[in-house]
A = this chain, B = another copy of it.
Amino acid sequence: MTGLEEFQEIPPKVLQMYDAVIQLIEEGEDASSIRVSTITDRAGIGKGTAYDYFDTKEEIFACAVVFHIRRIFRILEQELQKQESFEKQLAWLLYQIDRESNKKYCFIRMVHILTDNSDFSRQVRQKMMSDSFRRYHPVNVFGKILQQGMDRGEIRSGLPMEFMVYTIFSGLLTYMLSISTEECFHVSPEMMKSFVHQQIIRELCGKSN
């Protein structure tokens, strides 16, 4: 198992394991503190079965996360195509974060996973650089709607793609952070959403100075 298989090729027990891992992360469990037995109990399978498909605990995690990111961004891509304008796409994205804020830990954890230094984090990043991941890579999914927005004349030209992707990424991250640190930094998520939205639009759609 690599986490990069086609969705229909993945054995049911492996899917149950992936779902268990994601559920646990969404419930706020710290990745490094999740036990193999917790995963297999949750998946409703025997402990040994995990090792029929994977060699180590880290591999289970890395594959589950890679699978999840691919699934998320596949759906994201489909849903974003249903929105008519870049502004509506952005609004939809922020609304999703809001709607899934009960899963707020998951977003944050995904950012951790992409940036931290653990063994399985490295595995995830490695897998994300493979060809079969490309299509669902965040950079490419966001890149696509940005290109379409430019083609429609909604987004001003002249900005490097990397910067635009990071602008979206950073805006969404800011909003997520404001949700997950609400108690600690005393911010109103509602207000933050509105400001983040305006900021990104101003940045990407405003007239260049």
Contact = CB atoms under 8 A, between A and B. Distances in A.
Interface stretch (A6-14, A77-85, A115-123, A149-157): A115-123
Contact of A32 (B32, B105, B173): B32
Chain A interface size band reads 35 or more
B116 A108 contact: yes
Q: Could you tell me the dominant secondary structure of chain A's interface residues? A: helix
Interface stretch (A38-46, A63-71, A185-193): A185-193
Contacts of A115: 108, 112, 177, 180-181
Interface string A143-178: 000000000000000001011011101110110011
A125 interface: yes
Interface stretch (A15-23, A92-100, A195-203): A195-203
Copies of this chain, tallied across the complex:
4
17 contacts: A30-B116, A30-B117, A30-B121, A105-B116, A108-B116, A125-B183, A129-B184, A162-B187, A163-B191, A165-B185, A166-B177, A166-B195, A167-B199, A170-B170, A170-B173, A170-B174, A202-B202
